[in-house]
């Protein structure tokens, strides 16, 4: 999508700090990290959010989740643990309308999730 921030990052038009990439997904560091490790994992294909993901294959969505686990392993978070978050829509404070997973780790997190 032409005016999508994360599509522009996926296309290399806006710089990012890449952590992982394959044919389908890109993972890069969040510009405003909320934990010592804060990586965003996105599909390269534009998908607005989970409400829009009904048209995506199960394999593509599983691949996205698997990439989050790969990133956690690459970032050394397997032993300590990590959190994967995906905000969807206004109540969840989604600010970028391109499906993404936040991989957060490197500190003990609050017990509350909302």
The residue ranges that bind ligand AMP (CB under 6 A) are 5, 14, 16, 30-32, 40, 87, 93-96
Distance CA 90, CA 87 (A): 9
Q: Which is nearer to ligand AMP, 35 or 74 (CB)?
A: 35
CB of 52 to ligand AMP, least distance (A): 14
CB of 41 to ligand AMP, least distance (A): 11
For 22, the 3-state DSSP assignment is: coil
Q: Which is nearer to ligand AMP, 32 or 59 (CB)?
A: 32
Q: Note the Cα 97 to chain centre separation in Å.
A: 12
Return the closest-CA partner of residue 55 out of 64, 63, 47. Answer: 47
Q: Is 38 a catalytic residue?
A: no
Distance CA 64, CA 9 (A): 17
Catalytic residue among 38, 98, 100, 102: 100
- Active site residues per annotation: 100
């Amino acid at each position: 999508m032409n005016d999508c921030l994360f599509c522009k990052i996926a296309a290399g038009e806006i710089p990012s700090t890449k952590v992982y990439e394959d044919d389908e997904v890109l993972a890069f560091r969040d510009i405003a990290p909320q934990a010592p490790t804060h990586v965003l994992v996105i599909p390269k294909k534009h998908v607005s959010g989970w409400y829009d993901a009904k048209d995506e294959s199960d394999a593509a969505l599983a691949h996205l989740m698997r990439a989050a686990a790969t990133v956690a392993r690459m970032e050394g978070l397997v032993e300590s643990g990590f959190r994967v978050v995906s905000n969807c829509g206004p109540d969840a404070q989604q600010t970028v309308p391109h499906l993404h997973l936040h991989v957060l780790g490197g500190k003990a997190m609050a017990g509350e999730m909302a």
